[in-house]
Amino acid sequence: MSETVADHLLDRLSSAWGVKRIYGYPGDGINGIIAAFGRSEDRPDFIQVRHEEMAAFMACAHAKFTGEAGVCLATSGPGAIHLLNGLYDAKLDHQPVVAIVGQQARLGLGGNYQQEVDLTTLFKDVAHEYVQMATEAGQIRHLVDRAMRIALAERTVTCVIVPNDLQMEPAVTTPPHAHGTVHSGPGYERPRIVPDDSQLQRAAEVLNAGSKVAMLVGAGSLHATREVIDVADALGAGVAKALLGKAAVPDDLPFVTGSIGLLGTKPSWDLMQDCDTLLMVGSSFPYSEFLPEEGQARGVQIDIDGRMVGIRYPMEVNLIGDSALTLRALLPLLEHKQDRAWRESLEKGVAEWWRLVDERANKPADPINPQLVFHELSKRLPDGAILTSDSGSAADWYARDIRIRAGMMGSLSGTLATMGAGVPYAIGAKFAHPDRPVIALVGDGAMQMNGLAELITIAKYRDRWPDQRLVVVVLNNRDLNQVTWEQRAMSGDPKFEPSQDLPDIAYASWAELIGLGGIRVERPEEVGDAWDRALAADRPTVIDVVTDPEVPPLPPHITIEQARSFASAILHGDPGSRRIISQSLRQKLPEFLPGR
Ligand SMILES: Cc1ncc(C[n+]2csc(CCOP(=O)(O)OP(=O)(O)O)c2C)c(N)n1
Ligand SMILES: [Mg+2]
């Protein structure tokens, strides 16, 4: 059989762009492409997911954990629609992901045909940088080249739509050398982007003038660990981390204050409250109430994307550049701060915080304090571990309780904060790094939403991974806990059981049923042992931990308003009132005791 459009599409992705695998799900809108996989000898590899949204999450995880573009594939109509949430996750976290989707035959388009959806319009927002439908075989080469290059250059989502009849037509790999044709080539070289000297000088002046410098680093600093540390040392600064930047600097450094925000730490809060200068690097952390008040601090921001500067705090100097290169260029211009009093006070706060974290994790709960799960994991994290977290209370404990070390990676759905990314991210991580341990931290709600189904993907593909350590921990609190607490603390509403309560499912048994390992943990003294067993198991393992929904994932400080809302929830008959009060006091009281 001579080469088809679909063969050419896969060959272009694989040979010209180096795409190793595509996450997808079949349907008649992409039959031609699926058939081409059958002929391509796994170049690229087709990875079958349970749901197209998961394919998009996995492609996003691939991008997050490799820096390469991730690729996902779905059929026309319903398959394409299923992709959307995962694609938005990638777009909002600035990840390069290319979606290839099928469409009904060209002859039927516009005929209200079955599964005919206006896909160009559907994807026009999520893939607004580039969404194109092919109508001619000769377009495929440049549509692939442009979708890949624009995704990488703009760090965003792009989309190529291919009608199913076109997929089976003979390929046109070289368009005629004639008016009206396009002759593209593959490849994208990331440029070195550094601000010019006068801009660096102005930034250095602001930073040198400050005596209490706070740094806030995000996902854009993940490759700039050394540079962040060197600049923080020169400035005597403390370093807070936005959630996506958790792995940017290790938590064992004494001046790293940890996460910031609703799921942040007290030292990060204090750092921002008391600083006189703010240096923000590669972050678009959204919550302004956790940043200094306007006018309190002079600001410098570094970001690779000119659209992302000056939107969270009115900065005095905005530097557009790569974070590592820009910090390195800045370093010789910085005066080493002689007075280290600020740094020392921050370090005291950090040490105190870690003691408090330990203390909180060991407070009794009914039956298991969720913090204990993270605390015990943190002590046992294997070198090179890759952590993924779902949205929900797992994200709070991941942010606060896990001490990430050098050489590890971690991510979650940061900006979209969608539920359901934890397990598919772990699968994407495992395919990208099959020789590294991967740990997914997931709520029972997210597990029921899609994690349980996606365990099947793990069971299906696990033989391919030389390192079998893939652990999914389920916080079985029988509650959509994060939202329950938001309702209590933000709007003062009592827990509404019909929307919040979840059935107790036997997650570990389910895992065993499909050939994975399963461990059910019902008592606090079993938690450490469960981690030891799961991390030494000969197969991917699910740990089902029965945790207490009344341990509050509260922000590092409670505002008067939150306290008032909280009281209102209790007064309006929250079903957990009695236990909430005792747990809240247990968790928060030590913070206010003398000597803290
Ligand atoms: C797709 C989606 N739906 C709803 C939400 C709102 N939401 C955020 S966290 C959460 C609760 C998550 O529950 P669970 O997975 O059980 O974790 P828990 O907080 O109980 O640990 C909900 C409903 C969301 N972020 N994403
Ligand atoms: Mg839950």
**Are 209 and 277 in contact, with CB atoms under 8 Å apart?**
yes
238 SS3 class: strand
Rounded-to-integer distance, Cα 471 and Cα 535, Å: 7
550 close to ligand 1 (CB < 6 Angstrom): no
- Token representation of residue 172: 């046109």
The Å distance, Cα 482 to ligand 1 centre, comes to 6
**Are 345 and 525 in contact, with CB atoms under 8 Å apart?**
no
Q: Which of 389, 482, 507 to mutate to test the pocket of ligand 1 (most atoms within 8 A of CB)?
A: 482
Residue 326's CB is within 10 A of a number of other CB atoms, namely 26
Going by pLDDT thresholds of 50, 70 and 90, the confidence category of residue 571 is confident
Please state the rounded mean pLDDT for residues 548-567. 74
Rounded-to-integer distance, Cα 156 and Cα 92, Å: 8
101 DSSP β-pair partners: 74, 161
475 close to ligand 1 (CB < 6 Angstrom): yes
Rounded-to-integer distance, Cα 426 and Cα 86, Å: 14
Q: Tell me what pLDDT residue 585 has.
A: 62
pLDDT surpasses 70 at 557:
no
The Å distance, Cα 203 to ligand 2 centre, comes to 45
Rounded-to-integer distance, Cα 52 and Cα 72, Å: 8
pLDDT surpasses 60 at 594:
no
418 close to ligand 1 (CB < 6 Angstrom): yes
Indicate the average pLDDT of the chain.
95
Ligand 1, atom 25: closest residue by C-alpha: 418
Ligand 1 nearest atom to the CA of residue 390, by list position: 15
Q: Point out the least confidently predicted range of 57-66, 68-77, 447-456, 570-579.
A: 570-579
Ligand 1 nearest atom to the CA of residue 442, by list position: 15
356 close to ligand 1 (CB < 6 Angstrom): no
The Å distance, Cα 249 to ligand 2 centre, comes to 29
pLDDT surpasses 80 at 37:
yes
Q: How does pLDDT run across 369-421, given as a tens digit for each residue?
A: 999 999 999 999 999 999 999 999 999 999 999 999 999 999 999 999 999 99
- Token representation of residue 361: 């994790």
Q: Environment class of residue 273 by beta-carbon count within 10 Å: exposed (0-12), middle (13-18) or buried (19+)?
A: middle
133 DSSP β-pair partners: 161
84 close to ligand 1 (CB < 6 Angstrom): no
Q: How does pLDDT run across 471-489, given as a tens digit for each residue?
A: 999 999 999 999 999 888 8
Which spans in 93-158 are helix H?
119-122, 140-154
Which spans in 214-289 are helix H?
225-235, 266-274
Rounded-to-integer distance, Cα 316 and Cα 300, Å: 6
CA-based nearest residue to 454, from 36, 14, 35, 49: 49
Ligand 1, atom 13: closest residue by C-alpha: 480
518 close to ligand 1 (CB < 6 Angstrom): no
Helix (H) / strand (E) containing 90: helix 78-92
The Å distance, Cα 394 to ligand 1 centre, comes to 10
The Å distance, Cα 566 to ligand 2 centre, comes to 20
Q: Tell me what pLDDT residue 555 has.
A: 67
**Are 410 and 398 in contact, with CB atoms under 8 Å apart?**
yes
Please state the rounded mean pLDDT for residues 165-181. 97
Q: Tell me what pLDDT residue 596 has.
A: 36
Q: How does DSSP classify residue 398?
A: H
Going by pLDDT thresholds of 50, 70 and 90, the confidence category of residue 182 is very high
242 close to ligand 1 (CB < 6 Angstrom): no
pLDDT surpasses 80 at 580:
no
Q: Tell me what pLDDT residue 461 has.
A: 98
**Are 49 and 27 in contact, with CB atoms under 8 Å apart?**
no
The Å distance, Cα 143 to ligand 2 centre, comes to 43
270 close to ligand 1 (CB < 6 Angstrom): no
Q: Which of 390, 480, 490, 495 to mutate to test the pocket of ligand 1 (most atoms within 8 A of CB)?
A: 480
Beta strand pairing call for 438-443 and 470-476: parallel
Please state the rounded mean pLDDT for residues 30-34. 98
Q: Tell me what pLDDT residue 583 has.
A: 73
The Å distance, Cα 92 to ligand 2 centre, comes to 25
In single-letter form, the type of residue at position 415 comes to T
pLDDT surpasses 60 at 211:
yes
How far CA 120 is from CA of 133, 139, 176, in Å, comes to 7, 16, 27
Rounded-to-integer distance, Cα 348 and Cα 305, Å: 35
Q: Tell me what pLDDT residue 559 has.
A: 62
Rounded-to-integer distance, Cα 423 and Cα 443, Å: 10
Q: How does pLDDT run across 496-540, given as a tens digit for each residue?
A: 999 999 999 999 999 999 999 999 999 999 999 999 999 999 999
Q: pTM of the predicted model, to two decimals?
A: 0.96
Q: Closest ligand to 476 CA?
A: 2
Look at 558 and 213; give whichever has higher pLDDT: 213
Q: Closest ligand to 412 CA?
A: 1
Placement of tokens 């368009």 in the chain? 175
Q: Any residues with CB less than 8 A from the CB of 128 and at least 6 apart, and which?
A: none
Beta strand pairing call for 70-74 and 409-411: unpaired
* Percent of the residues in the chain that have a pLDDT greater than 90, as a whole number: 90
pLDDT surpasses 60 at 591:
no
Q: What is the DSSP string of 522-546?
A: -SGGGHHHHHHHHHH-SS-EEEEEE
Going by pLDDT thresholds of 50, 70 and 90, the confidence category of residue 2 is confident
Please state the rounded mean pLDDT for residues 53-69. 98
Q: Tell me what pLDDT residue 562 has.
A: 67
pLDDT surpasses 80 at 592:
no
**Are 422 and 392 in contact, with CB atoms under 8 Å apart?**
no
Rounded-to-integer distance, Cα 544 and Cα 505, Å: 9
The Å distance, Cα 504 to ligand 2 centre, comes to 10
Look at 67 and 589; give whichever has higher pLDDT: 67
Ligand 1, atom 17: closest residue by C-alpha: 443
Going by pLDDT thresholds of 50, 70 and 90, the confidence category of residue 558 is low
- Token representation of residue 64: 């997050």
Ligand 1 nearest atom to the CA of residue 502, by list position: 16
446 close to ligand 1 (CB < 6 Angstrom): yes
Q: Which of 454, 483, 496, 505 to mutate to test the pocket of ligand 1 (most atoms within 8 A of CB)?
A: 483
The Å distance, Cα 391 to ligand 1 centre, comes to 6
236 close to ligand 1 (CB < 6 Angstrom): no
Ligand 1 nearest atom to the CA of residue 549, by list position: 20
Please state the rounded mean pLDDT for residues 113-133. 97
The Å distance, Cα 429 to ligand 2 centre, comes to 24
Q: Tell me what pLDDT residue 595 has.
A: 37
417 close to ligand 1 (CB < 6 Angstrom): yes
457 close to ligand 1 (CB < 6 Angstrom): no
